[in-house]
Amino acid sequence: MRHDFYLAWRYLRHHRTRTLILVLCLSLIAALPLGLHRVLDAGEYWMTRRAEATPLLVGARGSAVDLTLGALYFSEAGVPSIRMQEADRIAATGWADPLPIYARYRVQGQPLIGVTLDYFDFRGLVPAQGELPAILGDCVLGADVAERLGLGPGDTLASSSGNAFDLAGTYPLKLHVTGVLAKAHSPDDHAVFVDLQTAWIIEGLGHGHAETQAAPTQPDSPFGAATVRRADAGLLTYTEITPENLGSFHFHGDPATYPISAVIALPHDARSATLLRGRYLDDKSATEMIRPLDVTRGLLENIFRVGALFDGILLLVVAIAFLLVALVFALSLRLRQREIETIYLLGCARLAVMRLLFAEILLIALLAGAVCAAVLYTAAPHASDLARHFILS
């Protein structure tokens, strides 16, 4: 048997090109489904990890998937807004601590998220550079956003206007970057965070006033001397909040009616979580409470159903590929007919020829397995990054 493998190895080395093509085809056929499952497993881990860290979520009644993706992963689709009074309502129960989130706007293509300072403690977000927002108009960048935009503490960027044709409305606000968050390997790396009140100023719910200024006196007219005053100076809307005009900014109306996207509820214990969920189950209002982990698992089940269909298609492709490999060996035998006849003339039995062919197939399979293992070993460290890039961002 040792001589069979020696002869098979010498034959494969002599036909290097054919052997290399067969080894690469077989190794890639085996590596593709295994690598895909590794990426899916990494994506499931990262998605469920963030959902597990978020006990309960309150938002507008409707699609639980849209609410979860919008509040946890800051998807571009967004979710209908609810009122700030939902956060006050949760706090009033004494069963949980509310974390309101407002994720309506985007800045230079990145989600602009209005939060309170408690959100950074909840997610374990700490500044790698600078500090967290301290006053109106401040913002802090996620690690990936800072790298993509090339910004850091001391720089500025402008928010996007909600509606360019809204004459009453939302004006771009120049935001002051106070810090860059450390890498969290989560959707927070792709977001720009501001204080909740800053987000409401961008919404147009808050503004600043300037002192009324008199314009230069105009020449006398037939009706006497006239002094023109700026009628709109008292309602000047600022595009930049500075220490000089910070005190002039204020809000109108009841803050409990201001919009937010969702509220993360952090129950004090299991009993408090059950009581809080029961209150929302009996509620007939326009809001609902969900468990992000349940929603995420349901979403992943649907994804894996599609993955199972893909596996079935891939299995058919693999079967076709092996048939093509078998065809290559069959044609190779026809081309090697004179070689086989020579082996017979040398006194070898038909079994020896079969052993020689088996040794060739086994060597090719071993080489393909080694290449497949090398590819998977090389790609394994990048599977998690690939999942975060295509799934979480």
User: Between the CA of residue 219 and those of 17, 122, 212, 230, what are the distances in Å?
Assistant: 95, 64, 21, 17
Collect all residues with Cβ–Cβ distance below 8 Å to 375 and sequence separation of at least 6.
27, 28, 31, 35
Note down the domain range covering 72: 56-290
Q: Which two tokens stand for residue 317?
A: 């492709």
151 and 245: one domain?
yes
Q: Is residue 115 part of a domain?
A: yes
336 and 231: one domain?
no
Q: Is residue 51 part of a domain?
A: no
Bridge pairing between strands 192-195 and 110-115: parallel
Q: Is residue 9 part of a domain?
A: yes
Neighbours of 130 (CB within 10 A): 18
306 and 327: one domain?
yes
Domain boundary among the residues 248, 267, 290 is at 290
Domain boundary among the residues 265, 290, 315 is at 290
122 and 238: one domain?
yes
pLDDT in tens, 214-232: 444 444 434 334 333 333 4
Q: Which two tokens stand for residue 312?
A: 């079935």
What is the average pLDDT score of the chain? 80
CB of 201 closer than 8 Å to CB of 245 = no
Q: Is residue 296 part of a domain?
A: no
Domain count, the chain: 2
CB of 106 closer than 8 Å to CB of 113 = no
146 and 244: one domain?
yes
Domain boundary among the residues 228, 260, 290 is at 290
159 and 216: one domain?
yes
80 and 224: one domain?
yes
Q: Is residue 94 part of a domain?
A: yes
21 and 65: one domain?
no
17 and 146: one domain?
no
Q: Is residue 295 part of a domain?
A: no
76 and 137: one domain?
yes
Please report, in tens digits, the pLDDT of each residue of the chain (393 residues total).
Answer: 567 777 778 878 887 888 888 888 888 888 887 887 787 777 778 778 888 899 999 998 888 888 998 889 888 766 788 999 999 999 999 999 999 999 988 888 889 999 999 999 999 999 999 999 988 889 999 999 999 999 989 888 887 755 444 444 556 788 899 999 999 888 899 999 999 998 888 888 876 665 544 444 444 434 334 333 333 444 444 477 877 777 777 788 788 889 999 999 999 999 999 998 888 887 677 888 999 998 988 888 777 777 677 777 778 887 887 788 788 778 877 777 777 777 777 767 667 777 877 888 888 889 988 998 888 888 777 777 776 666 655
Q: What percent of the chain has pLDDT over 90?
A: 22
Phi and psi angles of residue 350, each rounded to the nearest 5 degrees, phi first: -60, -30
